Chains A and B, each alone.
Chain A
């Protein structure tokens, strides 16, 4: 099992990356951590004439605070989200979510932007981005930069609103107020497997975010449940509301109704834990 031949490019600036993507159009693919793309190439589920390796683009790695926002540049390794105390302080949900992604060897290479751009419906970061109200920053060949909300970015399984020649440059996570609570819960067959179902949630005064994963083709935002939660509904009621309109996939791992039941239970648990976190923080 080897990938089909491709031409390899290792640009060092965002400008060069965008130029290559413009030149080769949909024959080119960005290579970040390679933890999703290389398996797909090896299994020959996909092939590209050109791979544009972004690992040597210094401007794509690292993170920083801009006023009320944590800006994580796309090629920052997932492992940094897990280890750096500044991440846990600014966006606790990112730090909580990261250890659930695969295994530490995967997180050593896998990037934040790669996980978001790959948009696997069962992955953790897209749900975190939706629950917190993050924005994704995309650069296009002309040098133009646009921002999309996470709600608008994820459009289907492995599909985002980014054009083939657009590069995800950064994810912008809002830093929620000090008196907030966060939780992520999931069920997977084994530690490190993609989740059968999961939920990321956040609560603060006047604002709540709930996003389920593994139960639809994109992260599923539970707006009615968010409102019920803000209006003071109990965890069980919030959970009931969150799964009311779910239409999860069925596969060899779980039926649709099993997934819904798991999801309801997980929402109840996560909401309870987030509320406790908020109480302690307050």
Chain B
């Protein structure tokens, strides 16, 4: 077992973990932050996407020990402290960018990272950026609409 310490959504978090504990499981089980979803657990679906030092990454493909000293932002860290939705979350709601919601945390985190780097993405850029997140419900049109709305609102 290995000690690990990182900042999650602005709070210091400590734990003692097996080396094979993924960051996603650490967030869900040690930190009780179950907004980070696990779909495939091998890098394909994007449901587990979090920000690691500001960059969107798969939390199922990094071990918790590797995130020692890093700043992690999960879906729970994107809204306001009073539960207010972030602009991206709000746009997903307005544009019906979700149905069952399983994929949504991963999409919202990915889109947040996209818009930080490229505040006015073209439709092609949006589609390319979303290619790493799978949704089995919406057919994606509402999600693309949500990204456009969030970009316009900026």
Q: Interface residues, chain A, CB within 8 Å of chain B?
A: 1-8, 10, 34-35, 38-39, 41-43, 51, 53, 55, 79, 99, 102-106, 108-109, 190-192
B49 CB, min distance to chain A CBs, angstroms: 6
A sample of 19 cross-chain residue pairs with beta-carbon separation below 8 angstroms, ordered by A number, consists of A2-B20, A2-B25, A2-B41, A5-B18, A6-B19, A34-B61, A35-B61, A38-B62, A41-B20, A42-B41, A51-B19, A79-B55, A103-B46, A104-B132, A105-B49, A108-B55, A109-B62, A192-B128, A192-B132
B126 CB, min distance to chain A CBs, angstroms: 12
Cβ-defined contact, B65 with A104, below 8 A = no
Cβ-defined contact, B57 with A105, below 8 A = yes
Cβ-defined contact, B42 with A39, below 8 A = yes
Contact of B42 among A1, A51, A104, A192 (CB under 8 A): A1
| Cα(A134)–Cα(B84), bound, Å | 52
Closest 9 CB pairs of A and B: A103-B132, A8-B19, A39-B42, A191-B131, A192-B131, A108-B55, A38-B61, A1-B41, A3-B20
Cβ-defined contact, A104 with B66, below 8 A = no
Contact of B57 among A2, A4, A7, A109 (CB under 8 A): A109
B5 CB, min distance to chain A CBs, angstroms: 14
Q: Which residues of A contact B2 (CB under 8 A)?
A: 8
Q: Which residues of B contact A43 (CB under 8 A)?
A: 42
Q: Which residues of A contact B128 (CB under 8 A)?
A: 99, 191-192
Cβ-defined contact, A104 with B56, below 8 A = yes
Cβ-defined contact, A42 with B60, below 8 A = yes
Cβ-defined contact, A109 with B19, below 8 A = no
Contact of A108 among B18, B57, B63, B66 (CB under 8 A): B57
Q: Which residues of B contact A191 (CB under 8 A)?
A: 127-128, 131
Give the residue name and chain of the B residue nearest to A83 (CB): B117
Q: Which residues of B contact A39 (CB under 8 A)?
A: 42-44, 61
Q: Is B58's CB within 8 Å of the partner chain A?
A: yes
Q: Is B74's CB within 8 Å of the partner chain A?
A: no
Q: Is B110's CB within 8 Å of the partner chain A?
A: yes
B41 CB, min distance to chain A CBs, angstroms: 5
Pick from B25, B63, B65 the residue with the most CB of A within 10 Å: B63
B101 CB, min distance to chain A CBs, angstroms: 20
Interface residues on B, range: 20 to 34
| Cα(A3)–Cα(B43), bound, Å | 13
Cβ-defined contact, B127 with A108, below 8 A = no
Give the residue name and chain of the A residue nearest to B18 (CB): A5
B3 CB, min distance to chain A CBs, angstroms: 12
| Cα(A109)–Cα(B60), bound, Å | 12
Q: Which residues of B contact A10 (CB under 8 A)?
A: 65-66
Given known contacts A1-B42, A102-B132, A104-B129, A7 and B58 CB-to-CB distance under 8 angstroms = no
Cβ-defined contact, A106 with B20, below 8 A = no
Cβ-defined contact, A106 with B18, below 8 A = no
| Cα(A191)–Cα(B65), bound, Å | 31
Q: Which residues of A contact B55 (CB under 8 A)?
A: 79, 108
| Cα(A192)–Cα(B134), bound, Å | 12
A3 CB, min distance to chain B CBs, angstroms: 5
Q: A-facing mask of B59-88, CB < 8 A → 1, else 0? A: 011110110000000000000000000000
Give the residue name and chain of the B residue nearest to A45 (CB): B42
B23 CB, min distance to chain A CBs, angstroms: 10
Q: Which residues of B contact A8 (CB under 8 A)?
A: 2, 19, 63, 65
A8 CB, min distance to chain B CBs, angstroms: 4
B119 CB, min distance to chain A CBs, angstroms: 15
B110 CB, min distance to chain A CBs, angstroms: 6
Q: Which residues of A contact B56 (CB under 8 A)?
A: 104-105, 108
Cβ-defined contact, B58 with A109, below 8 A = yes
Q: Which residues of B contact A104 (CB under 8 A)?
A: 56, 113-114, 129, 132
| Cα(A43)–Cα(B61), bound, Å | 12
Give the residue name and chain of the A residue nearest to B43 (CB): A39
